[in-house]
Amino acid sequence: MDRKRNRARVAGLAALTATEFNQRFVVGQPVVYTPVRGREATIPPLVTTTRSEAWELGGGTVVVAIKGRAGGVSLAHLDVAPAEAPHWECSQHGRSPERCCDRAALPEAP
């Protein structure tokens, strides 16, 4: 199914084009990145920020660069972070949980 027809079936940020995303959000927008949808219990989401404008890949997937990940991530894996969302970081190193060398230093998830 092509991207234009699929947009109507997809909710959230995944339905936006790169232009629409860039018009609504600025670089530095707080977002929640979910690496694997449906597995939040075993692979927790990461609250982070965008570090680029969105762009479209050759196949039509819209991606944006986020802090803590290399390359672009699909908008299908992002949600706008609520204002009260905590930024989980290692208490010793100030790194995101995925990049921390000491798992014991991480705060417990809510």
Q: Within a domain: residue 110?
A: no
Distance CA 90, CA 59 (A): 37
Indicate the range of 54-63, 68-77, 79-88, 97-106 predicted with least confidence.
97-106
Cα separation, 96 vs 110, in Å, equals 16
Q: Is 44 among the domain residues?
A: yes
- Average pLDDT over every residue of 18-47: 86
pLDDT in tens, 50-63: 999 999 999 999 99
Confirm whether 20 is domain-assigned. Answer: yes
Which phi and psi (to 5°) does residue 38 adopt? 90, -5
pLDDT tens track for 15-32: 899 999 999 999 988 898
**Res. 80: pLDDT tops 60:** yes
pLDDT at 7: 43
Q: Which domain holds residue 98?
A: 3-105
Predicted confidence at residue 81, as pLDDT, reads: 84
Whether residue 98 is predicted with pLDDT greater than 60 in this model: the reply is no
Residue 74 lies in a domain: yes
Per the structure, the count of domains in the chain is 1
The answer to whether residue 17 sits within a structural domain is yes
Higher pLDDT, 8 or 54: 54
